[in-house]
Structures are given as structure tokens and as C-alpha cells.
Structure 1
């Protein structure tokens, strides 16, 4: 089936942002929230918000008109999903709320409709138990604010019909987003990494190593400065996996199992894969890195220029 009409159940800031993204891509989007009046208020907010963002240059010229053209409000969840090809659930992150909403969606939707949850941490397989026909259910996790964050997690549970996935990925990519296809796991990739970082950051403060303000400075101005351009595997490949192995030994000697050296890293180094300098690494092959280094230096310099132009984030120490 070709996905055209979309229903968005949960039209708050998260779901509303997703609705704007689909609308700008030219898809008719029907909104539904807890009641008809709330849905209408959210529709008005999303249109006004799009006009404001276009006026400030955050949306391209004409995108606010696309939001106004393609978004509409339904009186109920049932009426919103009745004829939809694709239904995106974006209600609060509470299993009992999602369970009730998913049951309502399935009862009113077409049998061939695809149902996706925007959950950020709840396992998709657990949510799938709310449905009688869970093979047409998967996770499609946008990040807040959806109009401006480019990555989207596409999560399959054990019973997802894999033939649906390329179509869903194509739908998401039609909005200009990048997709990553994942297996089901609590927190998936984004929040598993994000919460691991926060946990260690809190431990550093609790241990008296640095203040919260200083941890944030180091995070955003050192390794965090690289992350818009390179993920952790690419960063390690460029630095040298043998160096990472040595550093993990220091961590393991001082922090024990909490920082035990990963087996995957040990294996690569033992096989002679040291990153870009020799043997290749996790994601980058060995070879001439002249162009890669030139890109890296340009990227970091441009980011520094952008930050200087924007100035400090208001209200953040």
C-alpha cells in the first residue's frame, strides 16, 4: 500500500511537531487528542507556531501554508483513524494510557492500516500486547522538537511484519529525516545512550569531581562538540582503537566492572583493527584520511562560528 493519509493521535508538543513534519512533506494529517476542543486548540497552535517559525526563518517560505493546508482536526480518535493509511500514536509515556489508546485505535482503524508508537523508552513488544493484530505495529520515534531534529528511530518488535518497514522508512524519509532501523530494547538507542551519559554525569557530581555546570561545559565543548558530525564509533576509529583500549584499562583499574573494557573493542584490536591508521575500525576503513580531516576541521570551525553568532543559551549557566 502507498501511505498517504496520516492520523496523529496525541497533538501536544511532541505529536503536534510530528504532524507539522508530515504536513510540510505534503501528507494530509488528521489530528486527534483527548477531546474535540483540545484537538482544535492544538490545531490552531500548530498553525500559529508554523507562521511564527517561518517569520523567524526557522521554516522555509511556504512551509507554514503547507501546515495550514494539510492539518485538520477530528472530533474523536475513532474518526481520525477510520480512513488513515498510517497512524502515529504520541500520547503520554505511561503504559496504561498507551494501552487504552492503542486499543481504541485498532478497533476503529482499517485492518491494513499501519500503527506506530512514538514511545521513547517503552519496549515495542510490550505495547504490541495491546493489539490483536500486532504484525502491523512498530515504533517510529521522533525526537523533540520534531521539526528540527533530523534522526528517527524505527523499531521492530518480534512480531512486526518486516515487509512494512521499507514503506514506513520511505514515509519518514519523505520528510527529510534520517532513519535508523533498530531491534526492540528498552530505551532503544537514543535514550539508552542519553541516560547512560546522564547517569555518569550525576555520578561525577556526586563524587565531587566537578559541578553540574562544569560537567555541562566540558560535555558540550569537547566530545559533545564532535557529535553533530561523528558518532562514538567514528570518533574512536579516528582516535585509534588501541588508544581506547589503553584508556579503558585505566578506567577498569579504577572503577571496576562499571567501566570494564568492552569485548568488541578487545576483539578488534587483537585482530589488528586499530581504526583509520591501521586495519580499519568500527565504521571507518583504514586509508588516507586527508579529506576526512579537512571535513572535520571545517565542520568544527563552522560550528564554533555558529555558536559565536547565536551566543549563550538563555538561562543556562
Structure 2
């Protein structure tokens, strides 16, 4: 992980110093922010601080963190005596306690009562609606979801989820803080599961149905996902992939799937409208994206190079240590 030192260091409190909260703390500390960890007690917070330093040493040894990372984390990460102590003068606060609505609301209430009135308060929830927690925070225009993924030091994407009353200033400031760490943000509207887990669990649900129906084994499904469409996903999202394949092709495939699963694979209305309008993807110069037709050769060249590089990386790493 590269070390990206911000020009605008902030004081950031992380409430919940476990695996997710700790990883987020590492990321923010490495970016040069002053980070304070809080948990159920000062002892737990300090124990997890020490764990993060030991873990960082291991990451450096494995060339996952740059040399000197542990020193930077040590200098920028402290453990608080209490939640209230951690948040009292923080500019930004990230709640990262277990995924239980009532617990989160209780902790957010404590944070809100002790924090500065202008402090941004965020939740790292992965599935709970931000609206359902917003009433626990006073002046909740400053409240939103900032969802890091596991393992947070190494996954580059972060969901930014405002609720109905979140101010634009709060959203923009949260995005700036996340980007100061070198990560990418995606702004999504509040809905249970947001985007990441809606997509992730939709895939998992279909995979389990394929196993239950006897179509393929767990091992073979994992092989298909990682060696076919999953192979594309580090470089392109589902809409870019569809555009390159051809939206008319996608429509034909939906019609074929409907012969076996008429409700499960109903053709999306948005796809129907684009095809009916002659917007077939990169080959027509418009689709979900607007890649001009004359730019398609450059895009295809990038795609092919990316896939070759990915295979070279996989060959270098060797197979994952899994057994089925």
C-alpha cells in the first residue's frame, strides 16, 4: 500500500477498534491524519492499537505496506480512554461497531452528545439504512454512511451514502477525507444494502441456487466466476462490460434465459429502452456509456492488455491456498 500524506490533516476518531475499525484507522493514519481509536474500554482500544502496529510490521515484511509505515501509524494513532474522550475535539468521526441497529444507534447517540456540533459523523455500516440511524444524531445534516470494504487497507473503493437530510457540504467533505487516503469514492442513495452488498449478495444468491439445482458444484462455480466474467471486473463494471458485448446481444441472452426462468431473468426495462432506441453500446457509439465508435479500437486494446496483465499476475501469485 502506497503512503499518501495529505496536505490537510484532520483529527479523526474511530469508534470500534476491531478488524474493520482498525483497518480504517491504519489507512487514515498512513495518510497523515491524527487518528484516535475508541472501544468499550481504554484497555481494549490500546490492545487493538498495538495489534495494528504488529500487523503493520507484518504487512511491511510481506511488501504490502511500504517501509516506514509502522512508524507513521505509531506517530499518528492513539488510543482514547473512552468514546467521549475520542470524539470530543474530532473533526470527523467514523462509527465501526458491530452490525446491529440498536447498538449503532446507542453509540451514535453517545458520539453526537460528546462531539463538536460541526463534526462530521459517519457510520461504516455495510447494509443498515442510513435513514434508520439518522435520528440518533443531533443536527443530522452532518451524518452519512462511509462504507469501507474488508480488508480496508487493500480494497480501494468506498461507498458514500447520504440520508435524506445530509448536507452537500458533509458529503463533499467526507469524499475529500476518503480520497486523501488514495481511495476511490462512489456516491449512492440510501437503500438497505446500498450498492456493493446488493450486487454481491445477488451473485451469491444465484450461485447457491445453481448448487441447489445441481447445475454445478461449488468449486466449479467459483472457477467459472473468477476465470470468466469475474476476470473482467477489476477493470470494468457491469455497464461497461455490457456496452462492449453489445446491448442487443444482452437482450437476446435475456430472451433465451427466459425460456427456462421467465421471472428470474425478466429483461430490464432500461435495457429494452436503449436497444429500442438503437443504442447498442460501443459498436453504435452510445449505450449505458457514451464511448464514441471511433474510440472502440483504443478501448479494446486497453481491455486486451489488461486481461493479459491480470493473467500474468495470477500466474506469478499462483493458486490461492483453498481446498474444496
Alignment TM-score, normalising by the size of structure 1 = 0.97
Matched position secondary structure for 2:313: helix
The aligned counterpart of 2:264 is: 258
Q: Does 1:291 align with 2:298?
A: yes
Alignment of 1:234-273 (within 5 A): 234-273=240-279
Alignment of 1:20-39 (within 5 A): 20-39=26-45
1:96-121 deviations in Å (ceiling 9; x for gaps): 11011101101110111100000000
Alignment of 1:271-286 (within 5 A): 271-286=277-292
Q: CA RMSD in A?
A: 1.1
* Number of residues of Structure 1 aligned to a counterpart in Structure 2: 316
The aligned counterpart of 2:309 is: 302
Report how far residue 37 of structure 1 moved. Answer: 0.9
Alignment of 1:100-249 (within 5 A): 100-249=106-255
Report how far residue 3 of structure 1 moved. Answer: 6.7
Alignment of 1:56-67 (within 5 A): 56-67=62-73
Matched position secondary structure for 2:94: strand
Report how far residue 316 of structure 1 moved. Answer: 3.9
The aligned counterpart of 1:44 is: 50
Q: Name segments (4+ residues, structure 1) moved above 2 Å.
A: none
Distance 1:163 1:148 in 2: 28
Unmatched tracts of structure 1, length 5 or more: none
1:78-132 deviations in Å (ceiling 9; x for gaps): 0000000000000000111101110110111011110000000000000112223
1:169-223 deviations in Å (ceiling 9; x for gaps): 1110010000001110111110000000000000001111001111100001000
The 8 Å contact of residues 138 and 160 in structure 1, kept in 2 or not, is answered as yes
Matched position secondary structure for 1:291: helix
The aligned counterpart of 1:313 is: 320
Distance 2:27 2:55 in 1: 13
The 8 Å contact of residues 282 and 293 in structure 2, kept in 1 or not, is answered as yes
Unmatched tracts of structure 2, length 5 or more: 1-7
- The alpha-carbon distance between structure 1 residues 311 and 284, as it changes in their structure 2 partners (threshold 3 A), is farther
1:250-272 deviations in Å (ceiling 9; x for gaps): 12232122110000000000111
Matched position secondary structure for 1:88: strand
The 8 Å contact of residues 3 and 85 in structure 1, kept in 2 or not, is answered as no
Distance 2:309 2:323 in 1: 22
